[in-house]
Structure 1
Amino acid sequence: MSVVFDRPYQFVPPVRNTAWPWLIQRLRLYDRYLRKKEGVVDYELRNLHHVQSSLDAGHSILLAPNHCRYADPLVLGWPARALGIHVHAMASWHLFNEGWFDAFAIRRMGAFSIYREGNDRQSLETAIDILAEGRRPLIIFPEGTTNRTNDQLKPLLDGVAFIARTAAKRRAKMHQADSTDTSSPAGQPPSGQVVIHPVAIKYLSVHKIDDWATRQLDQFEKQLGWTHMPPRDLRQRTVQLAEAHLALKETQYYGHSNGGDLPERRDALIQHLLETTERRMGLDNESESVRERVRQIRSAAASRFFDRSPAQVSAHESEEELRRDVDAADLAQELFSYPDSYLIPDQVTDMRIVETIQRMQESINGKADTSIPLKAVIEFAPALPVDGKRPRKGEPDPLMQSLESQLSEMLGRLSKEARPL
């Protein structure tokens, strides 16, 4: 069941006191959670001194990591503990609907909700206030959603720059007000500015993946009725299963499977899913971005689901129709996360095989097998200073360009640490 229809959105504010995050750090609760739920058993921190330098300078810090796994927010608890600090984080609304304990825990670790299906002004204001005050670093994932393609960065959301620049302006005004306050010590304003630290998170398999991957692929092939198959390597088996998965989805939505090049078939199905759904819902396609079109469909479905009158239920759209619309949009976004060259022979690594298998498991079985032990490498880049000046309309944003460039460079370098197949 899609999280879009769990319940109407209601902003969840962060818990500001430090007692709970201190206790969670001291008891190492996220270590246990990551080991049990996500298979992340080890970590390595690199260049953490960059963040320490910003803390020493009194800067207000925005941490901007890539986002490839559900484990990412908790993984960032390790550098926070090493620095002796607590953080706030912007978290998707659905995470507060995974169960009472998860909602209770993530709030007390400093998270607050963001409604990705609409314009959540309250969440944006909370993020700006936190960053302007600078009491704790703020974590925002600029890709917006997880993608399970650890080596490739998805397009970044411009909202990160908006939050950072608005906070920088607000912080500058706070500095001016403090500097004219004769009751403050020597009339000195607080030090520091708003800065962004790009953060690259790379997951590596602790052991060789062959046994784990073979078990998962065996199970998939049995589900499809594939028996007595000829010998193939892990890459070939994974690619064949990805092709079979696409053929099943083509049959579901076209009534037949198509031949031809896999990327072209994927892109054609994405367009079919989005165009058909937009047409049925009467939505105008004003964007070429798959992610934005998916967001628009999900937003419209949620609005219609919760705003319907009893007469509309029978006369307009049924709950089942809206659920099909969201399922189609979600599938388009999932297919969009399969990069063209991720499994080509001269570039494939063990972790790319793991990611592809786990993505298919989530799609087909609803849950990925996380029994394979992983190590998280967390690398920090030097601070990117933020001022309040926006780029001219139509011009590239230099702040977002710098952030994207830093993240891409770090991920490209870290990708080489995975085992080649």
Structure 2
Amino acid sequence: MTVVFERPYQFVPPYRGRLWPWLIQRLRLYDRYLKRKEGVVDYELRGTEHLRQSLDAQHGILLAPNHCRYADPLVMGWPARQLGIHVHAMASWHLFNEGRFDRFALRRMGAFSIFREGNDRQSLEAAIEILVEGRRPLIIFPEGTTNRTNDQLKPLLDGVAFIARTAAKRRAKLHADPSKTADDGSGNVVVHPVAIKYLCLEKIDRWATTQLDRFEQRLGWKRMPPRDIRQRTVRLAEALLALKEIQYLGHCGAGDLPSRRDALIEHLLTSTEAEMQLDKPSADVRERVRLIRSTASSRYFENGADPATATALKRHVQAADIAQDLSSYPDSYLMADQVTDTRIVETIQRMQETVNGHADHTIPLKAVIEFAPAIQVDTKRPPKGQPDPLMQTLGQELTTRLARLATEARKL
């Protein structure tokens, strides 16, 4: 997720028309894009009858998928096409700044912007209104950002519950108003957990060997002893961590990989917070990264930053982004008794994005999209300090389904 420094944030509202979404579905444009840009060439839908039941009941529907790849928003177009519906989706502001065509296409497919570096009341209000109207399902990724770990769910953001619960309250008021008709928002507000799992359609040995060879050659590693793909991937991850340690610490760290990763993350965030004179908001890496990014963005546009200040702010954001990227490498993900072909592919592609800014997507993938039964949204908020039952249920459903889907990948 990129902080946009080229221009200040301007809300991009949802496109309400039907012609463009219908045309995009008819011409299968996202099928072509997914194949060319993301390597996703096939899909399988499961549990769509649960979504159909909510559509027939005229509920306000919030679809809450896990978010492990940039392809996720577009693969959600496949169930929409099969069910003959259109959707809206909340999308990060930076995606609307990739170019005029991207901005045009995103809007016509139903996306609207969210400014993750600040409090975006317009975006929240648009999301709530979509659920109140109930004309189209709304897609929100509750993890917030892409994590590249398909088998492990990151902590969910509470904003999903706020949006759903606020919409449920407004719908309840509409039901109580005798002057309103069924078209003014009949049914309830429900959340459907959606588990997305990507499976490799062919053996990864040739693809992985080619990608690892290129990495090792860039590092000057030649005539290496025989090792399997898992060992090579782990060693390269360790090498890239060592390079970042030397860059920011001046030396390689000591200890196992998780402790070294955590030490570098803490150094990056603590030193950046000190330079920006920010108090540590919490122990959560994402909250600390968000504060750094939002402060950098506001200072850049509020003060008309001079070149030196602008350079420093961009450097602070880069350090925060590296910390967040490091936090996406989970413990034990590539343990010998747990590793699968999809985990190897994810890790290699994540390293490629870190080093090259983009990943190789020539390995063909199949997306499995599984819908869970609806979770009805209660209008009452949980007591202060207590876990939100809506978010707990959502997290449990996604975790359980992803764990089961993970078993469909090939073991190495």
Alignment of 1:260-275 (within 5 A): 260-275=255-270
Amino acid paired to 2:52: Q
Shift of 1:260: 1.6
Alignment correspondent of 1:352: 343
1:417 maps to which of 386, 408, 412:
408
| Cα distance in 2, alignment partners of residues 360 and 116 from structure 1 | 24
Shift of 1:2: 4.7
Question: Does the Cα contact within 8 Å between 2:199 and 2:366 map onto a contact in 1?
Answer: yes
SS at match of 1:3: coil
| Cα distance in 2, alignment partners of residues 373 and 43 from structure 1 | 11
Alignment correspondent of 2:375: 384
Q: Any idea what the Cα deviations from partners look like across 1:179-226, whole Å, max 9, x if unmatched?
A: 345xx59xx986310000000000000100000000000000000000
| Cα distance in 2, alignment partners of residues 267 and 406 from structure 1 | 29
Alignment correspondent of 1:304: 299
Shift of 1:388: 1.0
Q: Any idea what the Cα deviations from partners look like across 1:325-358, whole Å, max 9, x if unmatched?
A: 0110000000000000100100000000000000
Alignment correspondent of 1:200: 195
2:209 equivalent to 1:214: yes
Q: TM-score, normalised by structure 1?
A: 0.96
Amino acid paired to 1:377: V
Q: Any idea what the Cα deviations from partners look like across 1:223-270, whole Å, max 9, x if unmatched?
A: 000000000000000000000000000000011112321000000000
Alignment of 1:213-362 (within 5 A): 213-309=208-304, 313=306, 318-362=309-353
Shift of 1:4: 3.2
Shift of 1:59: 1.0
Alignment of 1:71-220 (within 5 A): 71-177=71-177, 179-180=178-179, 191-220=186-215
SS at match of 1:161: helix
Q: TM-score, normalised by structure 2?
A: 0.98
SS at match of 1:52: helix
Amino acid paired to 1:405: Q
SS at match of 2:306: helix
Question: Does the Cα contact within 8 Å between 2:21 and 2:86 map onto a contact in 1?
Answer: yes
Shift of 1:384: 0.1
SS at match of 1:203: strand
| Cα distance in 1, alignment partners of residues 122 and 281 from structure 2 | 26
Alignment correspondent of 1:17: 17
Structure 1 residues 190 and 262: alpha-carbon distance in aligned structure 2, compared to 1, 3 A threshold: closer
SS at match of 1:128: helix
Question: Does the Cα contact within 8 Å between 1:204 and 1:375 map onto a contact in 2?
Answer: yes
Segments ≥4 residues shifted beyond 6 Å: none
| Cα distance in 1, alignment partners of residues 154 and 69 from structure 2 | 13
Shift of 1:172: 1.1
Q: Any idea what the Cα deviations from partners look like across 1:60-102, whole Å, max 9, x if unmatched?
A: 1100000000000000000000100000000011110111111
| Cα distance in 2, alignment partners of residues 419 and 385 from structure 1 | 36
| Cα distance in 2, alignment partners of residues 144 and 108 from structure 1 | 22
Alignment correspondent of 2:26: 26
